[in-house]
Structure 1
Amino acid sequence: MTSPLSEAASDVQSPEPPAGLPARVGVLGGGRMGAGIAHAFLVTGADVLVVERDGQSAEAARERVESAAAKSIQRGATDANLEEMASRLTVSVDYDAFTDRRLVVEAVPEDWNLKVASLRRIEDRLQRDAYLASNTSSLSVNGLAKELKRPGNFLGLHFFNPVPASTLIEVVLGEQTAPQLAAEAKRWVEALGKTAVVVNDAPGFASSRLGVAIALEAMRMVEEGVASAEDIDNAMVLGYKHPTGPLRTTDIVGLDVRLGIAEYLQSTLGDRFAPPQILRDKVARGELGRKTGRGFFDWN
Structure 2
Amino acid sequence: MSLQRIGVIGAGQMGAGIAQVAAQAGIAVVMHDITPELCKRGVDSIARNLDRMVERGRFKPEERDRVIRRVETTTRLEDLAGLGFVIEAVIENEDAKIALLQKLDKICPPETIFASNTSSISITKMGARTSRAGRVIGMHFMNPVPAMKLVEIIRGLATSDATFQQTRSLAEQLGKTTMTAQDFPGFIVNRVLLPMINEAIYTMYEGVGGVTDIDIAMKLGTNQPMGPLELADLIGLDTCLAIMEVMHRVLGDDKYRACPLLKKYVDAGYLGRKSGRGFYVYDEKGTLIPPPR
* TM above 0.5: yes
Shift of residue 78, structure 1, vs aligned partner: 4.9
* Distance in structure 2 (CA, Å) of the matches to 1:233 and 1:259: 19
- The answer to whether structure 1 residue 272 and structure 2 residue 268 are counterparts is no
Secondary structure at 1:36's aligned position in 2? helix
Question: How many residues are aligned here?
Answer: 281
Deviations 1:10-31 (A, max 9, x none): xxxxxxxxxx431111001111
48, 54, 60: which is aligned to 2:35?
A: 54
- The answer to whether structure 1 residue 151 and structure 2 residue 95 are counterparts is no
* Distance in structure 2 (CA, Å) of the matches to 1:152 and 1:69: 36
Shift of residue 76, structure 1, vs aligned partner: 4.5
**Greater CA drift, 108-117 or 34-43:** 108-117
Query: Does the Cα contact within 8 Å between 2:171 and 2:178 map onto a contact in 1?
Result: yes
Deviations 1:142-201 (A, max 9, x none): 111111111111101111111111111111111111112212222222221111121111
* Distance in structure 1 (CA, Å) of the matches to 2:114 and 2:242: 24
Secondary structure at 2:87's aligned position in 1? strand
* Distance in structure 2 (CA, Å) of the matches to 1:161 and 1:71: 17
Structure 1 spans left out of the alignment, 5+ residues: 1-19
Shift of residue 277, structure 1, vs aligned partner: 1.6
Deviations 1:87-121 (A, max 9, x none): 22210111111122121100111111111111122
Distance 1:294 1:54, change over 3 A: closer
- The answer to whether structure 1 residue 68 and structure 2 residue 49 are counterparts is yes
Secondary structure at 1:81's aligned position in 2? helix
Shift of residue 73, structure 1, vs aligned partner: 3.9
Secondary structure at 1:124's aligned position in 2? helix
Amino acid at match of 1:181: T
- The answer to whether structure 1 residue 32 and structure 2 residue 13 are counterparts is yes
TM-score calculated relative to the size of structure 1: 0.88
- The answer to whether structure 1 residue 190 and structure 2 residue 169 are counterparts is no
Query: Does the Cα contact within 8 Å between 1:135 and 1:156 map onto a contact in 2?
Result: yes
Amino acid at match of 2:230: R
Structure 2 spans left out of the alignment, 5+ residues: 284-293
Calculate the aligned-residue CA RMSD, in Å: 1.7
Query: Does the Cα contact within 8 Å between 2:20 and 2:67 map onto a contact in 1?
Result: no
* Distance in structure 1 (CA, Å) of the matches to 2:185 and 2:14: 21
* Distance in structure 2 (CA, Å) of the matches to 1:81 and 1:91: 19
Shift of residue 66, structure 1, vs aligned partner: 2.9
Distance 1:77 1:228, change over 3 A: same
Amino acid at match of 2:16: A
TM-score calculated relative to the size of structure 2: 0.90
Distance 1:230 1:21, change over 3 A: farther
Following superposition of structure 1 onto structure 2, how do residues 1-300 of structure 1 map, counting pairs within 5 Å?
Answer: 20-78=1-59, 81-269=63-251, 270-300=253-283
Deviations 1:26-83 (A, max 9, x none): 0011111110000010000001101111222222222223333333444455567122
The share of aligned pairs that are identical, in percent, is 32
**Greater CA drift, 183-192 or 197-206:** 183-192
**Greater CA drift, 193-202 or 285-294:** 285-294
Query: Does the Cα contact within 8 Å between 1:36 and 1:68 map onto a contact in 2?
Result: no
Query: Does the Cα contact within 8 Å between 2:14 and 2:145 map onto a contact in 1?
Result: yes
Secondary structure at 2:246's aligned position in 1? helix
Query: Does the Cα contact within 8 Å between 1:42 and 1:48 map onto a contact in 2?
Result: yes
Shift of residue 250, structure 1, vs aligned partner: 0.7
* Distance in structure 2 (CA, Å) of the matches to 1:45 and 1:255: 33
